[in-house]
Chains A and B, each alone.
Chain A
Amino acid sequence: MTIINLGDLTIESARSLLHEGKISARELTSIYQEEINTKNPELNAYLEVFDDTFAEAKEIDERLRSGEAPRALEGIPFAIKDNILIKDRICSAASRILENYQASYDAFVIKKLREAGALFLGRTNMDEFAMGSSTENSAFGATKNPYDPSRVPGGSSGGSAVSVASNLALAALGSDTGGSIRQPAGFCGVVGLKPTYGAVSRSGLIAMASSLDQIGPIAKTVRDAELIFDVIKGKDLLDSTSVQYQPQIPNLKSKKLRVGVPKEYFSVKGGEGIDKDVLGVINKAIETLRGLGHEIKEVSLPHTPYALSCYYIIAPAEISANLARYDGVRYGLYKEGKNVIEEYFKTRAAGLGEEVRRRIILGTYVLSAGYYEAYYGRASKVRSLIKKDFENVFREVDLLITPISPKPAFKIGEKIDDPLSMYLEDIFLVTANLAGVPALSLPFGQVDRGGVSLPVGIQLIASWFSESILFEAGKILESHR
């Protein structure tokens, strides 16, 4: 057996090793399982590690030995966020209310990964129902940042980001409603993609806010994220908002990219603005692109300052509707009451965590008679303006470069009692969800905090169905890190 350095392994290199018979899928699976056994007790990235991955790996090995051409993700071990359904597995969304819920079907993306030969190591921790930016809102304990276990890994896809960053999986799936793939990827020094809305089917994703949710990859390199995206995208009859992916072939006049620096992202209100070390990393990325001859241009998306307000009205409104189904009747936890209505109240009080209850109540409020126009109605109009801003700016430039988060990973407990300060974490991220455009986050530098080096990343945003531009620019930056 070849000695494997997990730190350097990518999907492409693992595929070659598997194809050339230098390692078997069983060996690769065992290596990851050992890493999980060693590190997961401290990091809490996985909620469950599957016990039959090895048996599935055996089938992959037989297939490889039979000489069949390897499929796109043949033998690649994945970690799956616990809000994506895998048939016959528990899928809890890190909530007490679904603690014992067993999925009766595969999500579309799981079907796609299976068909491509992927293996599933387990399901990863997250903020309950994907509501949060730190993975502290899990009903099953917080996940720790591998660079500094006293800090958060980001969220809500914290377990998936940590599993990739700590070599507990070669790649992972997350979901992103307002930054839940990109922010944890940034805090953990890995790559995260939120695809264009509609590019990936949401069938089998436990719904949070249906007009914003997208599933996407978390991986070690931009190329790996691209390989996964190519497998999971596509039209699905079970999600009427999914579309046949037609890539927008960039109409580049030359090999040079036009990169927009949106000024509103650099003059945020609230908090103390962008940390100067984080700003240093972004500026270095901008200067790198400029140095390679790409055009850098300051641009404006004038409605950016309203995006977070808009998001925290629309998302809770959709949450309050989507989570009405957790009533103790069809699935999940059940608490006895004297009649069916009392059972709803008791079940939901016992099964839903604090942040989930807060958002359901906020959402019910902004949709209630007398407030609808001032909040939800108005926010839906502001959303149109935010979308228009992107349409306008992408006539001028091919992509945008922005920070992911104002600061590097924060301490566990630092923001948990102040919901607004937690929401402000998403200030640079929610715009892409509101407009539906694709966005990629990738690591680009480190900052020192108390003698610990923490990763800092950048976000690239492109026009609808222009993921190819994100991959191209991402690879350029990756090779000049």
Chain B
Amino acid sequence: MISPKEVQKIAQLARIELAPGEEEKLSKDLESILRYMDSIAEVAVEDIEESMHTVQVNVFRSDRKVEKFDDAAPLVAPAPRKEKGFIKVKKIIG
């Protein structure tokens, strides 16, 4: 149902490097999990709305005044690579 090759493709999408041989093991694990999950195909769901949340609340709020935020240091601090208050990454556009 989900081949090692397909696992490899999904892992690419999920940005996870697999160890050698890991796709075979994952393919076996996922096979048994997905077989169990297939039971939901039996449920009649025509005209049923999808539930993304359980308690219906209005998650929107009214606009608030934007205040100047000048305490960025603790937010930048955990970044593994940083310079002069900025988070540093390698060049992404070639």
Contact = CB atoms under 8 A, between A and B. Distances in A.
Nearest to B45: A381
Interface string A87-106: 00000000000000110100
Interface in A29-80: none
A346 B11 CA distance: 12
B16 A312 contact: no
Interface string A227-263: 0000000000100110100000000000000000000
A7 B43 CA distance: 48
B30 to A, nearest CB: 6
B19 A339 contact: no
Given A211-B53, A334-B80, A387-B54, A361 B7 contact: yes
Interface string B60-94: 11000000000000110111110000010111100
B26 A361 contact: yes
A361 B37 contact: no
Nearest to B48: A381
A300 interface: no
A474 to B, nearest CB: 22
Interface residues of A, number: 67
A201 to B, nearest CB: 13
B79 A385 contact: no
* Residue of A385, A420, A423 with most partner-chain B CB within 10 A: A420
Interface string A299-340: 000010110111011000000100010011111111000011
A101 B13 CA distance: 26
B54 A374 contact: no
B51 A365 contact: no
Contacts of B16: 345, 348-349, 352, 357, 360-361
Nearest to B59: A240
Contacts of A198: 54-55, 57
A141 to B, nearest CB: 21
A406 interface: no
A469 to B, nearest CB: 17
A244 to B, nearest CB: 10
A379 interface: yes
B27 to A, nearest CB: 10
A387 B51 contact: yes
A374 B42 CA distance: 11
* Residue of A101, A362, A375 with most partner-chain B CB within 10 A: A362
Interface in A334-384: 334, 339-341, 343-346, 348-349, 352, 357-358, 360-362, 364-365, 368, 374-375, 377-384
B41 to A, nearest CB: 7
Interface residues of B, number: 49
Contacts of A364: 10, 13-14
A309 B43 CA distance: 12
A379 B52 CA distance: 10
A331 B78 contact: yes
A125 B12 CA distance: 31
Nearest to A434: B54
Contact of B59 (A241, A331, A334): A241
Nearest to B16: A348
Contacts of A312: 33, 36-37
A420 B51 CA distance: 25
A381 B11 CA distance: 27
A241 B55 contact: yes
A378 B33 contact: no
Interface of B: 2, 7, 10-11, 13-19, 26, 29-30, 32-33, 36-43, 45, 48-55, 57, 59-61, 74-75, 77-81, 87, 89-92
Top 9 closest A-B pairs, CB basis? A436-B54, A334-B80, A380-B50, A331-B78, A349-B17, A104-B74, A381-B45, A345-B17, A240-B59
